[in-house]
Amino acid sequence: MQVRHVEPGDRSAWTALRLTLWPDEDEGSHRSAVERFLGGPRTLGTMPEAVLVAVEPDSHPAVIGFAEVSRRAYAEGCETSPVGFLEGWYVIPERRGQGVGRALLAAAEAWARGLGCEEFASDAVADNAVSAAAHRALGFEEVVVIRCFRKSL
The model's pLDDT over 103-146, given as tens digits with 9 standing for 90+, comes to 999 999 999 999 999 999 999 988 889 899 999 999 999 998 88
The model's pLDDT over 58-110, given as tens digits with 9 standing for 90+, comes to 877 799 999 999 999 999 999 999 999 999 999 999 999 999 999 999 999 99
Write down all domains in the chain, each with its CATH number in brackets: 2-137 (3.40.630.30)
DSSP per residue over 27-88, as a string? HHHHHHHHHHHHHS---TT-SSSEEEEEE-TTSSSSEEEEEEEEEES--TT--SSSEEEEEE
Is the whole model's pTM more than 0.85, yes or no?
A: yes
